[in-house]
Amino acid sequence: MSDYHFEEEDFQGTKVKSSTLLRILSQVRPYKWRVVAFVLSIASVSVLESTLTWLTMQIIDRGIVPGDRQALTELLTVYGAIYFVFAALVFAFIWFAGILGERVRYDMRKKLFDHLQTLSFNYFDKTPVGWVMSRVNSDTERISELVTWGIIDVTWSIVNITAATIWMLTINWQLALIVFVSIPVLIVIASWFQKRIIVEYREARKTNSKITGAYNENIQGVRVVKALGREAANLGEFSHLTDEMYRRSFRAAWLSALFMPVVQIISSIALGAIVWYGGLQAQVGGITIGGIQAFVGYVTFMLWPIQELARVYASMQQAVASAERVFSLMDEQPQIKDHVGAKDPGTLRGDIVFEDVKFHYEADKPVLRGIDVTIKAGETIALVGPTGAGKSTIVNLICRFYEPSSGRILINGTDYTQMTLHGIQSRIGMVLQTPHLFSGTIRENIRYGRLNATDDEVVAAATLAGAHDFIATLDKGYEEPVGEGGVLLSVGQKQLISLARAVLAEPEIFIMDEATSSVDTLTEALIQRGMEQLMAGRTSFVIAHRLSTIRRADRILVIDNGQITEQGSHAELLRQRGHYYRLYTQQFRSEREQAFELELEPMVS
Amino acid sequence: MAVTSISVPNIPQADFKARVSQNRLLGLVRMLGGYGKTYLAANITLALGALAKTATFLLLQYFVDNVLTMPDFGRVLPMIALGFVALALVEGGFTAWSGRLASYTAEGVVQKLRNYLYDHIQRLTFTYHDRMRTGELIQRVSSDVDAIRAFFNEQAIGLGRIALLFFINFAALLWISPQLALISIICVPIVAVVSVFFFGKLEKAYEHFQEQDAVVSATLNENLTGVRVVKAFARQEYESNKFDKENWEHFQRGRKLLIMHAVYWPLTDLICGIQVVGGFFVAAIMIINGELSLGSFLAYANILGWMIQPIRNLGRIIVQVSTAMVSYQRVTEIINEDREPLTAARIHPKGAAKGEVVFEDMSFEYTKDEPVLKNVSFRVAPGTSVALMGGTGSGKTSLVSLLPRFYEYTSGRILLDGVDIKDLPREYLREQIGVVEQEPFLFSRTIRENITYGVKRQVSDDEVHAAAQAASIHETIMGFPDGYNTLVGERGVTLSGGQKQRVAIARILLKNPRILILDDSTSSVDMETESEIREALANLMADRTTFIIAHRVQSLMDADQILVFSQGEIVQRGTHDELLEEDGTYRQIYDLQARIEDELEKELSGV
C-alpha cells in the first residue's frame, strides 16, 4: 500500500510570495476576457445587493410612510427588475468563473503531463509516484479554485463592503463611522479563527490518514494477528489513535461552531450602537425609519463578506504552497535531452562499443566501474551475474534512459549522445521482467509497439510471439480487456503480450529482462520461442536467468560489482571454471529440481 | 492470560451490533446510543438560538412602533440597544453550543464506531477475510464511516435547522399578520421541489464527474508506473494524446456540472426575489390601509429572507442523507458478520499443552461437497516432528490451518492432548501454536516491536537479542543504523525474503509455543541464507511438536515421520529410511538429486 502521508504536505511557514502569486495569475492570462467578465458580473451582483437594501429604505420612506401608492408601485417595479438583472448576473459569474476554473485545471494538468513525458529516469527514481499524482490531482484543483472562486469571493467581499459603506455614508455619516470602527476588529478576529480552524483540520486529517494506515495493516496482517493473539493489544493501540482523532476533530468542529457566533456578537454591539444613536437622531429628524432599517440590513449582512475574506486569506497560504510545488515540477529540467545539433541516426544497425563506461547514481557509490566491450551487429549477448551487479544499468544505458557518467557509447561509430533520443528509443524493443500493460484491450496493448499496424499485423505479431493461441481461447479474443496494469492476466500471459508488442515494433536492437518467477512449462516454451523470433538477426541483450537462454547466446558477459569479470561463449566460460561455472551449476540444480517438481505436480495433486 | 477487549480499560466502546436496524434511517438514529439526549439538546439549543434571532426582529418592530413614538424615549433607548446586544449574545451562545453538542455527538459516536469496527474486523473469521478485499474494507471503514459522521455533524442537524427556522419564523409571521404569513410561503414548496429535483440531478452528474476523475488519475498512474515502456517505445506523444482525451472529457463533465449550478442558483434567487417583491407590495398596501404597523413591516422584511433562504439547500441535504444511508448499509454489512469466539469453550485447560496431536478420520471442506482433506488419520507424539509433503492443492496447508482453528474441520476429530480442539478455546490453541508462514508478514513498526509482537508481557532487550541470535538475524539487525529500532517497510529498511523469515522465526522463538507450524520456510530463499535459516529452524524445533510443510527432501528428511499427500489423502507415510524402501513419490523426488548431478556431469564433460 502506498504511503498515506503524501496528501498532507506541510505548508506552514510558506510565505505568500508576490512572484508566485503573479505566476498563479499568469495561468489565466489566455482567458483574460473571461476573467474580466466574471469580475464585472460578481462586482455588479455585489453592488446590486447593497442597492436592494437602499431601495427598501426608499420603499419605506417614500412609499409606505407617506402612503404614496404610485411611488410604491414604481419602486417595487424597479426592485423586481433589479432581481431579474441580478439573476442574470449570478448566472454569468458562475458560468464564466466555473468553466474557467475547470479549464485552468485542464490546462495545468495537460502541461504537467506533457512535461512529465520529457523528464528523465533520474527524476522518477527519486520522486515517488504518489507525490507526482498529488501535484497533478489536488494541487491543480487548489490553484484553479484560487484563481476563480478565490477572486470571486475577494471581489464580492470588497465591492460589497465598499458599496455598503458608500450607501451608509449617504444615509448618515455619523452612524456609518460606528460601523467602520467595527470592520477591522471583525477582520482580525475572523482571520485568527480561520487560521486556527485550518490548522486543526489539517491535524485531524493527518490523524485520519494514520487511522486508515492502521486499519490497512491490521487487515492485511490479520492472519498474523490471529495466530499471535494480538487482538486486545492492537485495539488498545488503535484506541490511542481514535482518541487523538476525537480530540483533534472535536476541537476543529468547536472552533468552527464558535466562529460565526463570535463575529456576530461583536457586530451586534455595532447594531446596538446604531439603534441607540439612530434613535436619538430619528427624533431630531437626522435619520428616517427606512434609514435605520437600511443600517440594520447592512450591519447584519456585513458578516458574510468579512467571513469570506478571512477564508480566502487563510486558504491562500495553502494554495500558494500547492502552486510552488506545481511550479517546481514544471521547472524540473530533463537530465537527458537532445544535444544541440543531434541527428536522427537513420538506423541503429551496426556495432555497439562501450568505451570505459562508468556510471553512478550517487557520486560515492559507483555502479559501473569501467565497461569496455564491443558488440557486433546481430550478436546476442547474455548478461549474467548477481543482483545489483549492474546488469540492468548496462541495458538502461543502451536505451539511453541514463547516460554514462564518464566514457562513451558508440553506435555504428557515432557517440550516441550526438543522436536524438527519439531516434534511438524508437528503434529499440524492450521486454521487462515484470511486463507493464496499460488498461485497455489486448489488441491495444500489442499495437502499442506500432500504432499504425493493421489488425492482421497485430495477429501476425502475436502469432510470431506465441501469444495468439492463448488469446484465441479468451472470450473476446483480442478485444479482451487486460484490467488496470494487466491484473486480469497471468505473468506468463503478460510476458507473451509484451513480446508480441516488441515483435510488432520491429526494433533494431532488442532488450529483454527475463522473469525469475516460474511460469508453467507450456507458457515457458512459448516465451522461449517468441524470444528466439525476436533475437534472430538483431543485436540483442538479455538479462538471462534461464539456462536455455544463456546457452543460446553468442556471447555471455558475466557482470560482477560493476565490471565485466568474464566473457565468452558458454563452453569457453565453463572450461574456465570461474564465476560463471559456479553460477551455472547452481542454476542447473535449482532449475532441474523445479522442472521435476512441475513434472511431478499433476501426479501428486 | 485471557485478555479480552472488554477488560481493556478506558477504551470508548459500544456494542453496535445490538443497535442495527432494518430501517436504515432508524438504524442511523439508534447508532446514537447514549448520545441521544445530547443530540436532542443540540437541536433544542439550535431552536433557542433561532428563537433569539427572530426575537431580534420582533424587538426591532417594538422599537419602531412603540419606542420611537414615546415622548421620553431617550430613557428607554439604551435598554433597547442593550436588548439587541443581549439577544445577539443569547443567539450566538446557543448556536455555538448547539454546534459543540452536535460535534461532541458525531465525533463520540464515530470514535466508538471506529474502535468497534477495528476490533470487529480483526475478530472476524478467516473465511470472511479470504472473501473480502482489503481495499473494499478500507473504503467502508474510512469513507463510509466518515459519511456517517457527516450525517450527525451536518445533515441531521442541518435538516433540523431548516425545519426549525421555517416553523419559528412562520410562527412569528403568523403573529405579525396571518394573511401576510400565508402569502409569504407560496414560494416555499416551489423552492423545496426545485431544490430536491436539482440536487438529485446534480448528484448523478457529480458521480459521472467523479468517475472521470478516477479515470484521469488512473491514466496518469499507469503512465508513471509504466514510464519504462513509454520511453522504450518512444510513445510520449501517444501518451499525451491519451491523457488529453481523458482530461478533456473531465473538463466537459465539469462543465456540465457548472451549467447546472449556473441555472439553479439564479433561478431560485429569482423565485425568492419575486416572493419578496410580492410580499413587500401586499405588506405596503396593508400599512397604507392601516392594517399593519410600520414596525411589523420591518420585522416582516427581515424575517422573510431568513425563512426562505435555507430552503434552497434542502435538496443538498436530502441527497447527502441518502448517501449516508447507503454508507450505513455498507457498514452494517460488516457489523452483521459474526465474530469468531476466542475464549468460549467447554474446557479451559490450565498451563501449557504437552503437544500430542491426533487426527482421527478427519475430513475438511471449504465449500460443501468439495472436500479438501479426506479421512486423514495420524498421531504426533509430544516433541516430535511430522513433515507434510505434496504438490500444490494437495491439502497440506489447509491441514495445518485447522490446528489453531483458523477454519473448522468438517468431520472426524482432531485431538490435542486427548481433547477435541473444538472443545478448547481458540485463544488457548493459538497460544500453544506458533506459525512461520511461507511469506511472513511484518508490520511497519520497529524490528524490536515486530519480534515482540506475539508476547503479552514486557520483554527485556536481552531476551529479544537472544531470540534474534537463535534466529541468526542478530548480526544483520545490528548492521542497520538504528539497530533494533529500525523501522520495517517503506519508511525504514526493506528486508529480503530470508531476513523477513528469520525475524518471523525470532518472533515465534520469543512466543515459545508448544506446537510449531513451518510452512515451506526455505522455498523462496537463495542458497546462502538457506543454511542460516536451517540453523535457526533447528533451534526453533528443539523440544516442540512440529509440523513442517516442504517440497524439498533436505528440508524434511530428518522429521520423525513423513506424510505424503495427494488430493487430500495420505498416500505414503513413514520415516525417511522407510519411505526410501518403498516405490513411490518420495523416492522419486529423492532420486532426483542424484540424477541432477549425473546430468550436470554429462553436460560439463560435453564442453
What is the structure's pLDDT at A605? 35
Length reported for chain B: 607
Residues A163 and A258 in one domain: yes
How many whole angstroms separate alpha carbon A35 and alpha carbon A37?
5
Question: How large is the average pLDDT for residues A473-478?
Answer: 91
Beta strands in A247-351 (DSSP E): none
Chain A residues touching residue B138 (CB < 8 angstroms): 212, 215-216, 219
Which cell numbers hold the place of B592?
532426483
Q: Using DSSP, how many helices (H) and how many strands (E) does chain B show? A: 23, 10
Which cell numbers hold the place of B6?
472488554
Chain A residues touching residue B552 (CB < 8 angstroms): 593
Share of chain A above pLDDT 70, in %: 95
Question: How large is the average pLDDT for residues A539-548?
Answer: 86
Which cell numbers hold the place of A289?
425609519
Residues A264 and A300 in one domain: yes
Assign 3-class secondary structure to B200-238.
HHHHHHHHHHHHHHHHHHHHHHHHHHCHHHHHHCCCHHH
Measured in whole angstroms, the distance separating CA B510 from the mean position of its chain's CA atoms is 31
How many whole angstroms separate alpha carbon A330 and alpha carbon A107?
13
Which cell numbers hold the place of A376?
557486433
Residue finishing a domain among A306, A331, A356? A331
**Is B99's CB within 8 Å of A254's CB?**
yes
Which cell numbers hold the place of A545?
536467468
Query: Beta A406-411 vs A414-415: how paired, if at all?
Result: antiparallel
Chain B residues touching residue A72 (CB < 8 angstroms): 281, 284-285, 288
Name the phi and psi angles at B73, rounded to 5: -70, -15
Confidence of residue B397 (pLDDT cuts 50, 70, 90): confident
What is the structure's pLDDT at A514? 80
> For B92, which of A236, A256, A261 is closest by C-beta distance?
A261
> For B284, which of A72, A253, A592 is closest by C-beta distance?
A72
**Is B111's CB within 8 Å of A574's CB?**
no
CB B515 within 8 A of CB B434: yes
Whether A530 maps to a domain, the answer reads no
Residues 356-375 of A with CB under 8 A from B: none
**Is A600's CB within 8 Å of B589's CB?**
yes
Measured in whole angstroms, the distance separating CA A209 from the mean position of its chain's CA atoms is 18
**Is A72's CB within 8 Å of B263's CB?**
no
Chain B residues touching residue A216 (CB < 8 angstroms): 134, 138
The CATH number of the domain holding residue A240 is 1.20.1560.10
**Is A114's CB within 8 Å of B226's CB?**
no
Residues A72 and A178 in one domain: yes
Residue of chain A nearest B94, judged by CA positions: A261
CATH 3.40.50.300, chain B: domain bounds: 357-440+513-606
Residue of chain A nearest B223, judged by CA positions: A438
Tens-digit pLDDT profile for residues B260-296: 999 999 999 899 999 999 999 999 999 999 899 999 9
Range of lowest pLDDT (A5-14, A563-572, B42-51): A5-14
What is the structure's pLDDT at B94? 96
Residue of chain A nearest B373, judged by CA positions: A605
Between chain A and chain B, how many beta carbons pairs sit less than 8 Å apart? Answer: 426
Chain A residues touching residue B228 (CB < 8 angstroms): 401, 430, 432, 436
Residues A313 and A377 in one domain: no
How many whole angstroms separate alpha carbon A383 and alpha carbon A549?
10
**Is B274's CB within 8 Å of A283's CB?**
no
Give the residue among A171, A169, A178, A167 at the shortest CA–CA distance from A277.
Answer: A178
Query: Pick the residue with more confidence: A104 or A7?
Result: A104
Residues A207 and A248 in one domain: yes
CB B64 within 8 A of CB B298: yes
Whether A122 maps to a domain, the answer reads yes
Assign 3-class secondary structure to B373-408.
EEEEEEEECCCCEEEEECCCCCCHHHHHHHCCCCCC
Residues 110-169 of A with CB under 8 A from B: 110, 113-114, 116-118, 121, 124, 129, 132-133, 136-137
Instruction: Please tell me the distance in Å from A545's CA to the nearest CA on chain B.
Output: 14
Residues A290 and A402 in one domain: no
Give the residue among B115, A478, A65, A445 at the shortest CA–CA distance from B123.
Answer: B115
How many whole angstroms separate alpha carbon B150 and alpha carbon B321?
9
Give the residue among A5, A3, A7, A106 at the shortest CA–CA distance from A322.
Answer: A7
Which letter does DSSP use for residue A350 in this model?
A: S
Chain B residues touching residue A3 (CB < 8 angstroms): 490-491
The CATH number of the domain holding residue A402 is 3.40.50.300
| Cβ neighbourhood burial of B22 (10 Å; 0-12, 13-18, 19+) | exposed
pTM for this structure? Answer: 0.82
Confidence of residue A13 (pLDDT cuts 50, 70, 90): low
CB A518 within 8 A of CB A438: no
Which cell numbers hold the place of B553?
527432501
Query: Pick the residue with more confidence: A389 or A412?
Result: A412
Beta strands in A186-324 (DSSP E): none
Residues A282 and A200 in one domain: yes
Q: In this structure, which CATH number among 3.40.640.10, 1.20.810.10, 3.40.1190.20, 3.40.50.300 belongs to the domain B357-440+513-606?
A: 3.40.50.300
For an interface test with A, the pick among B143, B227, B253 (most A C-beta atoms closer than 10 Å) comes out as B227
> For A242, which of B115, B218, B263 is closest by C-beta distance?
B115
Question: How large is the average pLDDT for residues A142-164?
Answer: 92
Chain B residues touching residue A223 (CB < 8 angstroms): 126, 129, 406, 437, 441
For an interface test with A, the pick among B258, B372, B442 (most A C-beta atoms closer than 10 Å) comes out as B258
**Is A574's CB within 8 Å of B604's CB?**
yes
Which cell numbers hold the place of B200?
438529485
> For A216, which of B138, B251, B276 is closest by C-beta distance?
B138
For an interface test with B, the pick among A49, A95, A113, A516 (most B C-beta atoms closer than 10 Å) comes out as A113
Q: Strand order of the sheet with strand B371-380?
A: B371-380, B357-365, B411-416, B419-420
**Is A289's CB within 8 Å of B141's CB?**
no
Given the C-alpha cell 464506531, which residue does it identify?
A: B113
Residues A185 and A305 in one domain: yes
Confidence of residue B227 (pLDDT cuts 50, 70, 90): confident
Chain B residues touching residue A226 (CB < 8 angstroms): 122, 126, 404, 406, 430
Instruction: Please tell me the distance in Å from B13's CA to the nearest CA on chain A.
Output: 10
Residue A432 scores a pLDDT above 70:
yes
Chain A residues touching residue B287 (CB < 8 angstroms): 64, 67
Residues A300 and A355 in one domain: no
- Contact residues for B334 (Cβ-Cβ < 8 A; gap 6+): B117, B120, B121, B137, B140, B141
What is the structure's pLDDT at B491? 67
Residue finishing a domain among A276, A298, A331? A331
How many whole angstroms separate alpha carbon A352 and alpha carbon A69?
98
Whether A237 maps to a domain, the answer reads yes
Buried b (16+ CB within 10 A) or exposed e, A563-593: bbebeeebeebbeeeebbeebbbebbbebbb
CATH 1.20.1560.10, chain B: domain bounds: 1-177
Tens-digit pLDDT profile for residues A366-408: 889 999 999 999 999 999 987 778 898 999 999 999 999 999 9
Confidence of residue A518 (pLDDT cuts 50, 70, 90): low
What is the structure's pLDDT at A59? 92
Which cell numbers hold the place of B605?
564433460
**Is A485's CB within 8 Å of B225's CB?**
yes
Residues A318 and A359 in one domain: no
How many whole angstroms separate alpha carbon A262 and alpha carbon A509?
72
**Is A226's CB within 8 Å of B218's CB?**
no
* DSSP per-residue letters across A238-257: HHHHHHHHHHHHHHHHHHHH
* DSSP per-residue letters across B535-559: HHHHHHHTTSEEEEE-SSHHHHTTS
Range of the domain at A255: 18-331
Q: What is the tally of structural domains in chain A?
A: 2
> For A249, which of B107, B122, B603 is closest by C-beta distance?
B107
Query: Pick the residue with more confidence: A218 or B539?
Result: A218
Tens-digit pLDDT profile for residues A113-126: 999 999 988 888 88
Residues A188 and A252 in one domain: yes
Instruction: Please tell me the distance in Å from A306's CA to the nearest CA on chain B.
Output: 17
CA-based end-to-end distance of chain A: 34
Question: How large is the average pLDDT for residues A134-157?
Answer: 91
Any idea what the Cα angle at residue B293 is, between residues B288 and B299, rounded to 5°? 120
- Contact residues for A134 (Cβ-Cβ < 8 A; gap 6+): A6, A7, A9
Averaged pLDDT of chain A: 87
Instruction: Please tell me the distance in Å from B520's CA to the nearest CA on chain A.
Output: 14
Residues A114 and A35 in one domain: yes
How many whole angstroms separate alpha carbon B477 and alpha carbon A234?
25
Cβ count near A10 (within 10 Å): 9
> For A436, which of B5, B102, B229 is closest by C-beta distance?
B229
Share of chain A above pLDDT 90, in %: 44
Chain B residues touching residue A219 (CB < 8 angstroms): 121, 129, 134, 137-138
Residue B354 scores a pLDDT above 80:
yes
Tens-digit pLDDT profile for residues B457-486: 889 999 999 999 888 889 889 988 889 999
User: B1-177, what's its fold?
Assistant: ABC transporter transmembrane region fold (1.20.1560)
Residues 230-249 of A with CB under 8 A from B: 230-236, 238-239, 242-243, 245-246, 249
Buried b (16+ CB within 10 A) or exposed e, A355-384: bebebbeeeeebbbebbeeebebebbbbbb
Whether A256 maps to a domain, the answer reads yes
How many whole angstroms separate alpha carbon A347 and alpha carbon A342?
14
**Amino acid, single-letter form, for residue A488:** L
Residue finishing a domain among A284, A302, A331? A331
Instruction: Please tell me the distance in Å from B426's CA to the nearest CA on chain A.
Output: 9
Instruction: Please tell me the distance in Å from A470's CA to the nearest CA on chain B.
Output: 23
